[in-house]
Amino acid sequence: MAPEAILSHLHRADGSATYTHNGYCIIGAVNGPIEVLRRDEMPEEATVEVNLRPAAGVGSPKERHLETLLHNTLRSIILTPSIPRTLVQITLQVRSLPDEDSSTGVNPSLTLLPHLLHTALLALLSASIPLSTTLTAVLIALPATNTPTASTQLLSPTAIELLRAKPIRSAHVFAFSGEGKMLLNESDGTFSYEEWDEAAEAAEEVCCREDGGVGLAEGIEVDGREGENLDDWLRSVVRTKVEQEQRWKSAR
Amino acid sequence: MVVLPGDAVPQDALPTPTGKKKQLTLGPGLRHIPPATVASTIAGGLVTDPKKVAAYIESNSGRYLPTTGDLVVATVQTSTAEAFNCTLTPHTPYATLPHLAFEGATKKTRPQLAPNSLVYARVATATKDFAPELTCVDPSTGKSEGLGPLKSGMVFKISLGMARRLLAGSKGGVVLLEALGEKMGFEIAVGRNGVVVVDGGNVKSTLAIGKAIQEADGQALGEKAQKKLADRVLKSI
């Protein structure tokens, strides 16, 4: 199932996105470029601030860790030199998690991370913050089997699929830029270098575009096909946004 | 053509510099990566103007970023010895408006503007490194050309795209104001920072006009729907 996204629905934020996929629902809001506190000001670049609020309870070091990962990844794609001495403030609120998330055996921070990255990116696109490229992210899980091969990999599994495949030996989150460069690589568990390499290759196929240039292809594969191309999905979301903004041109 | 950040715009989609204009001008949303790549930085639709040999990305989201030459509605917050501190958008550094940048202002006769008063000004200088500077006077002639304090009227917020359409005239496809202007008299000041100041003489007319503009913006009404809206407003007055 392809993820769903609604853009620019919060009127008081410069940009916003609600992202829903496989039971994970996250609302992201971006404000910027706005005034930055003197102590955080950087003379030649923009300051990026990420705030993550969990679905239940208050923020803990888990959220701080995810904020650091998000901050480092997003800062590498935001064109910070074009808006110096300003602040780009990204706020992410986890609305809901799938019920089985806590019992999958995989670190819940890892399962949530790709969805957080997508929400943040969509909110940044909604706020028209200058970016050097887009990014897509995916979770790969390697269950414990006697002969782990590429065919036993779980690409972007749902919480139920992870539960059924228990025990999971290792889980990996990869994020790729629009040009195919790896931006984030977080792994957890026991694995060999070959297993990691295969997981990275599979992730690249899911995340990136096959051909070069501006893709004009339409449509997302649904129903059964694992790992539909995320770059195509992102393009279709942006196309919907642009059509929505320009509907006055064709209105009666 | 819909582009995402990082997409390289192909050469044949850009207007070619011919004749007098030798250079291609890149507007908001596009950046030049030497030697020959033009890449997009935001998500939107690519728009080209072959006459001006310019290309830019059209998008109706995000915050207003001050650009030199824009007409804006500024709100005066405080005054220093030499200038007024004004805001163009909330939570951004002040834009300065010098006391002497008004028509007929001298060191002895400065304009008196209270906090929260509105001024229709032009952005004199705006770079990414400094706070923007405003002016209410044409620098070459010294005349105000319609700029200056807005004495009365009510503020309405509209989207940046709608503000650009209103300032674009017939190309913006907004017939609402002409339709209303046939039967009603009102004054309106449109700022590129998404602010519109309407003065309809009385509260009812002012509110009706302002709300009509916001509805035409939010519902993306076409010309026919705008005319119907104008008729509805005129009937209710």
pLDDT in tens, A13-62: 999 999 999 999 999 999 989 999 999 999 999 999 999 999 999 999 99
Note whether B168 and B137 are same-domain residues.
no
Residue A218 has pLDDT above 60, yes or no: no
Report the residue of B11, B14, B59 to disrupt the A interface, i.e. the one with the largest count of A CBs within 10 Å.
Answer: B59
Q: Mean per-residue pLDDT for A91-96?
A: 96
pLDDT at A225: 39
Residue A221 has pLDDT above 60, yes or no: no
Are B56 and B26 contacting, i.e. CB atoms less than 8 angstroms apart? yes
Q: Which among A8, A131, A239 has the least Cβ separation from residue B61? A: A8
Question: CA B181, CA B78: separation in Å to the nearest integer?
Answer: 36
Residue whose entry in the numeric block shows the structure tokens 């700022």: B191
CATH for B12: 2.40.50
Q: Which residue of B has its CA nearest to A251?
A: B222
Cα A176 from chain centroid (whole Å): 10
Note whether B82 and B16 are same-domain residues.
no
Residue B158 resides in a domain: yes
Q: Does B47 touch chain A (CB under 8 A)?
A: no
Q: Which of B97, B117, B150 is the last residue of a domain?
A: B150
Q: Mean per-residue pLDDT for A133-153?
A: 82
Note whether B227 and B211 are same-domain residues.
yes
CB-based contacts of A134, cutoff 8 Å, min separation 6: A77, A121, A125, A177, A178, A231, A234, B4, B5, B6
Q: Mean per-residue pLDDT for B45-54?
A: 90
Which stretch, A42-56, A238-252, B44-58, has highest mean pLDDT?
A: A42-56
Note whether B77 and B145 are same-domain residues.
yes
The model's confidence at residue A189, banded by pLDDT at 50, 70 and 90, is very high
pLDDT at B205: 93
**Which residues does chain A have within 8 Å of residue B10's beta carbon, measured at their own beta carbons?**
213-214
Question: CA B127, CA A29: separation in Å to the nearest integer?
Answer: 26
User: Would you call B128 and A84 a contact, using CB atoms and an 8 Å cutoff?
Assistant: yes
Residue B20 resides in a domain: yes
CB-based contacts of A15, cutoff 8 Å, min separation 6: A7, A8, A29, A30, A31, A123, A124, A125, A126, A127, A128, A129, B61, B62
Residue B30 resides in a domain: yes
Residue B63 resides in a domain: no
CATH for B223: 3.30.1370.10
pLDDT at A37: 93
Query: How many helices (DSSP H) and strands (DSSP E) are in chain A?
Result: 6, 9
Q: Mean per-residue pLDDT for B1-25?
A: 86
Are A201 and A132 contacting, i.e. CB atoms less than 8 angstroms apart? no
pLDDT in tens, A97-133: 999 888 888 999 999 999 999 999 999 999 999 999 9
pLDDT at A152: 80
pLDDT in tens, A147-188: 655 568 888 888 888 888 888 999 999 999 988 999 999 999
Q: Mean per-residue pLDDT for A224-246?
A: 81
Residue A217 has pLDDT above 50, yes or no: no
Note whether B109 and B183 are same-domain residues.
no
Q: Mean per-residue pLDDT for B23-33?
A: 91
Note whether B158 and B232 are same-domain residues.
yes
Residue B140 resides in a domain: yes
User: Would you call A178 and B93 a contact, using CB atoms and an 8 Å cutoff?
Assistant: no
pLDDT in tens, A71-90: 999 999 999 999 999 999 99
The model's confidence at residue A220, banded by pLDDT at 50, 70 and 90, is very low
Note whether B159 and B145 are same-domain residues.
no
Residue A215 has pLDDT above 60, yes or no: no
pLDDT in tens, B154-212: 999 999 999 999 999 888 889 999 999 999 999 999 999 999 999 999 999 999 999 99
Q: Tell me which residue range forms the domain holding B21.
A: 2-58
pLDDT in tens, B87-119: 999 999 999 999 999 988 888 888 899 999 999
Residue B66 resides in a domain: no
Note whether B85 and B51 are same-domain residues.
no
Note whether B127 and B158 are same-domain residues.
no
Question: CA A148, CA A79: separation in Å to the nearest integer?
Answer: 41
Q: Which of B105, B134, B150 is the last residue of a domain?
A: B150
The model's confidence at residue B36, banded by pLDDT at 50, 70 and 90, is confident
User: Would you call A127 and B62 a contact, using CB atoms and an 8 Å cutoff?
Assistant: yes
Are A199 and A142 contacting, i.e. CB atoms less than 8 angstroms apart? yes
**Which residues does chain A have within 8 Å of residue B5's beta carbon, measured at their own beta carbons?**
77, 125, 130-134, 178
Percent helix, strand and coil across chain A, each to the nearest 5: 35, 30, 35
Q: Which of B91, B126, B150 is the last residue of a domain?
A: B150
pLDDT at A183: 95
Note whether B141 and B80 are same-domain residues.
yes
Q: Mean per-residue pLDDT for B219-234?
A: 91
Note whether B224 and B186 are same-domain residues.
yes
CATH for B132: 2.40.50.140
Q: Does A180 touch chain B (CB under 8 A)?
A: no
Number of structural domains, chain B? 3
pLDDT at A148: 55
User: Would you call A234 and B4 a contact, using CB atoms and an 8 Å cutoff?
Assistant: yes
ipTM for the predicted complex comes to 0.92
Residue B64 resides in a domain: no
Residue B65 resides in a domain: no
The distance of A165 to chain B (nearest Cα, Å) reads: 37
User: Would you call B6 and A131 a contact, using CB atoms and an 8 Å cutoff?
Assistant: yes
Q: Does A127 touch chain B (CB under 8 A)?
A: yes
Comparing A170 with A209, the larger pLDDT belongs to A170
User: Would you call A252 and B225 a contact, using CB atoms and an 8 Å cutoff?
Assistant: yes
Note whether B142 and B172 are same-domain residues.
no
